[in-house]
Structure 1
């Protein structure tokens, strides 16, 4: 071999070694989510398998999703984006997308197809994808009640949440307008299909707050998802709103004595967004290709009762990994549960959210 070819061979070998070294560079990804049973399900279904396949990657969980939009805005304005991947609600994701602080997503280019080759854009359930949003789950906010709080007849409707005479006791509600305003109108007699039309008027907003006024003295507000079932378990409240997966975990795994009321469940997507100024975008996109494929979304349902966002994942949902119980009946979309859903209108909350959040915050302090 001539010196010239030796140099080329050495150069090529060096390049390959450099690329290999780069591929194995230690990467730390800060993934922001909701904490508790939900983050635990992501850890087991997504994070741990991915890190086992990619030992150079370390995933650090941050339970900051309750304030994700404000956090992204602050980091972007400061020019110091420390989050790599954020679990966010669609309405907040749309606002962040419009503001340019999260990346736009080419779903068919960036995400895995279904096993039969169906493109991601056709496999994810209708209405779930956003310009900057990758859905993971279909979940719902539900009402749960503690049977021991009442004698005789047990509550079974959203209307009962507002019935202090027949069902006295404290109520734990989330400290945001979403769900609370919809349920106030529903309990006040507004038809499910008319709720957002009514809520888009000043009179409808006043009506919703007036209904909430009737139980305000009995409300304990919660912020983090783990607080709602804990308040029920501790006997501090008779009712609590909460995420259906959290309540499932508290009831089925932890043995909490409570019952889910599926009437008026607020059905919503939840999913990922990628900060536009993050330092590890390539690593994040590799993770997302894995974590949002058909099998991984089905795997999450082994640990929590949230429905996978892909059509191809649904047939793969089986038993709970630890309890051995069939998970399909515990999904929000199960026929016995989906009899009176309120499908959350993300366009409405994108348009009116800031105004209603400000009014709700002031109302809580009054």
Structure 2
């Protein structure tokens, strides 16, 4: 008779810990915005979404005649170009912004308390108006000042005023709310900020989650899976901040770019830390707009932005930050081309696996690859209009 040992002691406890820490190991990816648009709080209004849509569409009308120019300007493969062109126009028309952040930090600056308080009220009023019009993006919220600036009171005051102002005007906190917490130089700031959210929840009967920004090399050492678990499920995402990060490393200004190897390292640390936890990842931005309204300058901006978006996508970062209406065109065109380029071949390989037949072309898929292919298809279905 074979000797069958008992299961190892403590296994059940370890397995429960695994399930709590890595809830997304075998889960299908859900919808995640392909971008975050952030607008300085003093420039944000109920017209912001319409203004970004109209500006982006005017650029398309003036400088993107048809699918052929997608190939030339963005490097979109000729095969899916017509479908990409159609989808970009539809997206810009019906949902130009998926995720909107009202910025009270670097894009806004330091103002007297009474001035920032006034902009908090204006922002809450604009959110209420967008919600009433059915135009509030699926994700939305503020970016508050960092605790690293030495004034957590201002950060908390803005957050409390913003959330309270929206709830008072709408009667509830509309779906999709999240708050961005920048420049997390100290690990202690995270549970402190989570505690602020917890106290706000108790007072307003809402559920609040936040995104942390990874903007300094000092942040990387304390990124780990247990971090998300320790914050009670309140950490929704980690967003990379390219300019603060590269400046902190001492890179020269012309090398402060998303596709620098130092940024690749930071992104890989973020991926390693949060894989399987359900914490979403977002890349940073291109701090540039077209130098003029001339086609040559608009095309140059689109080309550079498309290169950076493709770089992010190749590295498994499916979301990034957009800073100008022109970026919407290159963002959506590049994302849609990326998903459509391999969609049919991925679907065929998954079907072949499910039907237990050869996929053809010498492909020998492993179970992990099939899971990745299926996840890519679901991600594409969620992203494509």
Pairwise same-fold verdict (TM > 0.5) = no
Answer 1 or 2: which has greater helix percent: 2
**TM-score, with length taken from structure 1:** 0.30
Q: Which has the higher strand share?
A: 1
**What TM-score do you get using the length of structure 2 for normalisation?**
0.29
